[in-house]
Chains A and B, each alone.
Chain A
Amino acid sequence: MNGRLASALVVFVGLLVAVPAARAADPPNAADLEAELVCPVCETTLDQSNAPVAVRMKAFIRERIAAGDSERDIKDALVAEFGAGVLATPGKSGFGLLAWVIPLAALAVSAVALALLIRGWSGRREPPPPAEPAVEPELEHRLDEELARFDA
């Protein structure tokens, strides 16, 4: 049973590695790139824009795909012309990294705050009952005498 599980795990991990690697070897798809790049004039993705510069950028993408460039090469070339703002998703380094880190940090802070809140709620117990009032010594003495008489 453990052997089967280990084999399945190896196959699964192999697929996880192989599928993206196979995709990376494929030529880039123009439609995918147009959805991931922004027209610098109208600020929408290229696939949503018919602005003259967007039309020119779409032609550039097709030229570069035909020339054998990778997706990374094409994006880098467009960033070199129009700046990082041309990428629909922010970069994973420099200032663009903040766009990835801030939501994760906010999620972590929210989780901690929620945990503290839940801990605070569960910590609220019923107040302990008030201590019984101490019996006065004279009364206690009389009570002992009565009980002793009763026992006799």
Chain B
Amino acid sequence: MTARRRLLLVAQGAAVGLVVLLFALLLWKLVDDAGGGLAKAAARGERPSAPAFTLERLDDAGELSLASLRGKVVVLNFWASWCIPCKEEAPYLEQVWRENRDRGLVVVGLDAKDFRRDARSFVRRFDLTFPVVYDGPGKTLTGYGVTGFPETFVIDREGRVVEAFVGAVNSDDDRARLRAAIETALQS
């Protein structure tokens, strides 16, 4: 076999390999795309692990990691200052936090795709006293399958998602479901 022929074969092999690699990436993206997977799993009665994060705090100095809250029930609320339903929901989450913080529950606000300055104004405007973390690029959204704001996840003491709410927890039904999920998580 001549050197030229060998070179041609190597080039052909590399081209085929590249096509296979791109196809595998496409398949991986299709299969791996969470797209509300956590919410669906929680709705089926499963308790999927809540994806870990460590993010800058907006209400205080330093960072807050989800792992540091292990042993507590976490109500994780994804929001943004420009989101209108978030404005209706925020006072209710503050009420839930105040009523349950002595029972081992913590509400965590996760502000994403937003300006820090606007998020801080939102916190002041609604007098929010629970911890608020900031994820401007929205890197945590994919892991949780968040596609819009607000979304809320109730996470038990072992870091597993008990219940998920896509959209604001503003109706009486949703609020009753949130309280039931909190009780389930607190008792487990």
User: Which among B116, B138, B139 has the greatest number of chain A C-beta atoms within 10 A?
Assistant: B138
Pairwise interchain contact B4-A53, C-beta atoms closer than 8 A = no
Partner of B113, one of A41, A80, A116: A41
Q: Enumerate chain A residues within 8 angstroms of B13, measured Cβ to Cβ.
A: none
The answer to whether B137 and A83 have CB atoms under 8 Å apart is yes
Indicate whether A40 sits within 8 Å of B113 (C-beta atoms), given known contacts A83-B137, A85-B137, A116-B7: yes
Contact between A56 and B4, CB atoms less than 8 A apart = no
Residues of A within 8 A of B80 (CB): 53
Find out whether the CB atom of B7 lies under 8 angstroms from the CB atom of A53: no
**Interface residue A136 (Cβ < 8 Å from any Cβ of B):** no
| Closest B residue to A53 using CB positions | B82
Chain B positions within 8 Å of A81 at CB level: 114-116, 136
Which chain A residues lie closer than 8 Å to B137 at the CB level? 40, 82-83, 85
Which residues of chain B in 108-161 are interfacial with respect to chain A, using CB atoms and an 8 Å cutoff?
113-116, 118, 136-139
Bound CA span A71–B28, Å: 38
**CB of A98 within 8 Å of the partner chain:** no
Chain A residue contacts of B7, Cβ below 8 A: 116
- Interface status of A100 (Cβ within 8 A of chain B): no
**Is A60 positioned at the interface, with any CB of B under 8 Å from its CB?**
yes
Residue numbers of B with Cβ under 8 A of A are 4, 7-8, 11, 80, 82-83, 113-116, 118, 136-139
Q: Which A residues contact B (CB, under 8 angstroms)? A: 40-41, 52-53, 56, 60, 80-83, 85, 113, 116, 120
